Amino acid sequence: MKDEAFREWLEKSDKRPLPQIRDNIARVRRVETGLNVNLDTEYKNGRCESILNMLDISNAELLRTVGLPTDMAGLSSLKTSVRKYVMFCDS
């Protein structure tokens, strides 16, 4: 993940408070760590669709084993942050 560039993009495009920006970055890092992936590589290989599909309640058992949330609210937050990263990469 391009941490600094993503942070700057979030500041300019999302106009959210700094704590929310930090939360988005932390969630993307959490996905990368939990699933042992690099979102830049995943973006090049299909705009992170495989990652977004993985972050689904139907994969709760796998997600639990890697320390990711399995409830709808937690998964939704992770997916939203990954989608924002995709939008950043698209820009």
**Count of alpha carbons within 13 angstroms of residue 61, beta-carbon side:** 0
Tens place of pLDDT for every residue, the chain, 91 residues?
Answer: 999 999 999 999 988 899 999 999 999 999 999 999 999 999 999 999 999 999 999 999 999 999 999 999 999 999 999 999 999 999 9
Q: What is the pLDDT of residue 15?
A: 85
Distance, CA of 62 to CA of 5 (rounded, Å): 31
DSSP label of 57? G
Instruction: Confirm if 75 and 31 have CB atoms less than 8 A apart.
Output: no
